[in-house]
Amino acid sequence: MNLSRARSPWVLHYDASSCNGCDIETVACMTPLYDIERFGAISIGCPKHADILLVTGTINHKSLRVLRNIYEQMTEPKVVAAIGICATSGGVFHQSYNLLGGVDKAIPVDVYISGCPPRPEAIIDAIVMGVEKLKKKGKEGLAGSAEASSG
């Protein structure tokens, strides 16, 4: 079971308010050069099917609701990765009046990857680290879901 979990991380990508730099690098992971499908990872559009949520961009008041909605629809075990410096802390925009900051202001984050934008290798590294977390969460059972609602 845990082997399968490690070999088949389905990735859901959500753009909170990114400048698309990180999004392009995330999508680059699927291209023939990087091809994350060789590790079994596929990009999936449905939160109910996904294992790893990749969030790019800072969180603002509009995307907060959407992001929480997506996160709550994902089934356990699940992992959240903040991709890029904006998703990690708000980056250069962290003082803007309309922003809340990084993804961890909205939902629990397991993996932080900095960079503006991060290299596709770094994003693959985020997925690999996410897989380790997935295995750990899978072993612990579904008990860890309580933290889902803590903002």
Residues found near another protein in the complex (CB under 8 A): 1, 3-5, 7-8, 10, 32, 35, 37-40, 43-46, 48-49, 51, 75-77, 138, 142, 145
- Which C-beta is closer to another protein: that of 101 or that of 130? 130
Structure tokens at 117: 């934008």
Distance of closest approach, residue 92 Cβ to another protein, in angstroms: 29
- Which C-beta is closer to another protein: that of 18 or that of 88? 18
CA gap 57, 62 in Å, rounded: 13
Distance of closest approach, residue 25 Cβ to another protein, in angstroms: 18
- Which C-beta is closer to another protein: that of 50 or that of 87? 50
Structure tokens at 137: 């969460």
- Which C-beta is closer to another protein: that of 43 or that of 114? 43
Distance of closest approach, residue 38 Cβ to another protein, in angstroms: 4
Distance of closest approach, residue 4 Cβ to another protein, in angstroms: 4
Packed helices 21-28 and 120-140: angle between N→C axes, nearest 10 degrees: 80
Distance of closest approach, residue 42 Cβ to another protein, in angstroms: 8
CA gap 41, 37 in Å, rounded: 5
CA gap 18, 104 in Å, rounded: 15
Structure tokens at 120: 């596709």
CA gap 129, 28 in Å, rounded: 18
| Torsions phi, psi for 21 (to 5 deg) | -60, -50
Using DSSP, state whether 56 is helix, strand or coil.
strand
- Which C-beta is closer to another protein: that of 55 or that of 99? 55
